[in-house]
Each structure stands twice: as structure tokens, then as C-alpha cells.
Amino acid sequence: MSAMPGATVLSLDPLARARRAPLAASFLASKRPSQGPLPTAIPELDELLGGGLPRGRLVEIIGSVSSGRFALGLSTLSSATHSGLSAALVDLGDNLDPESARAFGVDLARLLWLRPTRLRDALAAAEMAIGGGLPLVVVDLAMPPLTSRGPRVPETAWVRLVRAAAVPETSVLVLSPYRVSGFAAEAVVRAEAGRAVWQGGGASPRVLAGLSGQLVLEKRRGAAGGVTRSFVLVSEERIAIERALEQPQPAQPQASPAHAETFGALAEAAAVRRSA
């Protein structure tokens, strides 16, 4: 996959090189989040999490292919970077597409893109990003089986990651095909694939508007599990259209008095010709 324009990219091969790589000054100068959870821009997910991603804690979203798991991560990155925060994406599966990220509203200039090739390196990369003081770190563990990316890491490794996130109050979001963080997670949400949502009909062409699905709260400290919420992820094309409509339209040039008089004279002449 080609490098993302505007984003800081580290391949993490070898990992030691990434550990020595300094974070850009723009990341270190990122403003700190206000008190309270970090919103994900998905109201249903924020509701299940008690307002958003808890600071200094780890939240795990699990789901199969086409469950919307990765799109939920992009939405969270978009919400954070759009509000002026810097964030990191640890992309174990190398799944990020620059145009998709841009369509979701991710500010690429505030995104640190880490691309490890092994599971253990992914955790080390996340810890490095946390140590850099970033307010949000999203870890995508790609598709199963995760053992193809190296041996499974013990639960104590996830506990260590949470302890590292506690001091800078970094919100950690883990995207995984199945549960991996064990008791280290503050909350676990399962994303279930639904159906495609279409717009248009009749003579008009049908356009994919988004993907509907369900979010099931499997675990959250201090709250009952089993709560389900339906959600809709808007398609990239729909997002692009809505963002284009939100852009201010250029003001139409006003005709000068001389042009107005000329236009009036031409209109009168045309009327005379039609009556003749």
C-alpha cells in the first residue's frame, strides 16, 4: 500500500528504528482533550460506552468481516483529529486506504500511521505512541487468524499497555476479530453486520447510502452487559456529497449598472423582433 499523503508513516521494520524515530512536533503540540470521554461520532457507540472512549483506558471492538469494525475506528479517528487532537493508528493488517480515511473526515496531518507486521510489534508500537503523549491510539489487528502474525501475546501484555495509557490519559481502541485483551479491557463491544442501506428507486439509480448493523455491549465495568443498539455507517460517497454541500458556495457576481442597461436593451430588442 502506498504511503498516505500528509500522514506520518512508520513501517516498524525493524521495530528498533521506530522506537528511535521522534514524533513530529505537530503531534507533541497536540492540544489535550477536555475532561470526559472522547466521542467516537457514533451516537449509539458513545451511549454504550457511557459517553465515548474513557481516557486512560482500553476499549475493544470485536467483529467479523463487513461488521463495520474498521469503519468505527475511522469514525473515532475522524472525531478526534477533526477536534484538533492528534492520534495514532497501529495498522497490523495494513488495511488503511488514504481516500477512505479522507472521506471519513480524518485529518491526515494529525495522524501517525504505524505499520507493524507482527502482533508483538503492534503492541510495542501502541506503547510507543502512548509514550509520545497522543490522546488517542487505535490498534487494528486485521483479519483472523491472528496467529499468522506471530504467537498470541499474554493478557499481561495488554495490562501493561493499559498501565502505560493511564498516566498520559490516552484512550486506546482495539479493533479485533475476536477478544484478545482479556480482563484488561474497560469495555468490549461486538459489532454485528447488518444489511446495505440504499437510496433512490424508480427511474433514479439506486445509490449505496450506508451499512446498518448492531452493536452489542458484552462488557463494561460498572454497567450491565447485553445492551444492543442499531447503527448506520454512511458510505464514503454519501459523506463526500454531504461535505461538498456543507462547503460555502461562491457568491454570484452582481451585474454592474452598465451591464444591466445593456441586458435591458437587448431584451427590449428581442421583444420587438418577436412582435414583428
Contact 125, 90 (CB under 8 A): yes
**Domains of the chain in sequence order:** 8-250 (3.40.50.300)
Contact 191, 61 (CB under 8 A): yes
What DSSP line would sit under 130-199, residue for residue? HHTT-SEEEEE--SSPGGGGSSPPPHHHHHHHHHHHHTTT-EEEEEESS--SGGG-SEEEEEEEEEEEEE
Neighbours of 54 (CB within 10 A): 20
Q: Phi first, then psi: give them for residue 113, nearest 5 degrees.
A: -105, 110
Distances (CA, A) of 226 to 20, 211, 218, 275: 43, 22, 6, 78
Supply the pLDDT for residue 134. 95
Note the pLDDT tens digit of each residue in 128-153. 999 999 999 999 998 766 666 666 78
Supply the pLDDT for residue 34. 61
pTM (2 d.p.):
0.75
Rounded Cα gap, residues 265 and 244, in angstroms: 38
Least confident of 21-25, 176-180, 231-235: 21-25
Note the pLDDT tens digit of each residue in 199-253. 777 777 777 667 788 999 999 998 888 899 988 876 554 444 444 445 555 554 4
Contact 128, 18 (CB under 8 A): yes
